Amino acid sequence: VQLLESGGGLVQPGGSLRLSCAASGFSFSTYAMSWVRQAPGRGLEWVSTISGSGGTTYYPDSVKGRFTISRDKSQNTLYLQINSLRAEDTAVYYCAKNPTSLWTQYNWFDPWGQGTLVTVSS
């Protein structure tokens, strides 16, 4: 199982960015997938999950309306569209695989990609 993120970079406040996560080594459509971020020197923060089918998405209130998670089963790729970027969005963004197709209490993140750094600054 391998996850490889890309798409990070330096963006001005108010800008947009789309992160990608290429998945391999498992049946991509069978599992929910998530994004978790980590600001410099800080802890881990969950920012979105999408069900295995792609039909259901989940976000914390802190990013709802600005972040959009999606998946392309034909490309085995997970995406995170981030709009209206703020300085506090500066972080390493990790994609991770969930253990089932749904977002439930029975949940953990394994494995994780290596992360992609998003820096929001003028």
Rounded Cα distance between 2 and 106, Å, is: 22
Query: Among residues 12 and 61, whose Cβ is nearest to another protein?
Result: 61
Query: Among residues 9 and 60, whose Cβ is nearest to another protein?
Result: 60
Least separation in angstroms between CB 122 and another protein: 27
Least separation in angstroms between CB 48 and another protein: 10
Query: Among residues 4 and 81, whose Cβ is nearest to another protein?
Result: 4
Instruction: For residue 103, give the 3-state DSSP assignment.
Output: coil
Least separation in angstroms between CB 56 and another protein: 14
Give the CA dihedral 86, 60, 2, 88, nearest 10 degrees: 20
Least separation in angstroms between CB 12 and another protein: 26
Secondary structure (DSSP) of 21-44: EEEESS-GGGS-EEEEEE-TT--E
Query: Among residues 88 and 110, whose Cβ is nearest to another protein?
Result: 110
The DSSP call for residue 66 is T
Rounded Cα distance between 52 and 57, Å, is: 10
> Which parts of this chain interact with another protein (CB under 8 A)?
43-46, 49, 58, 60, 94, 99, 103-115
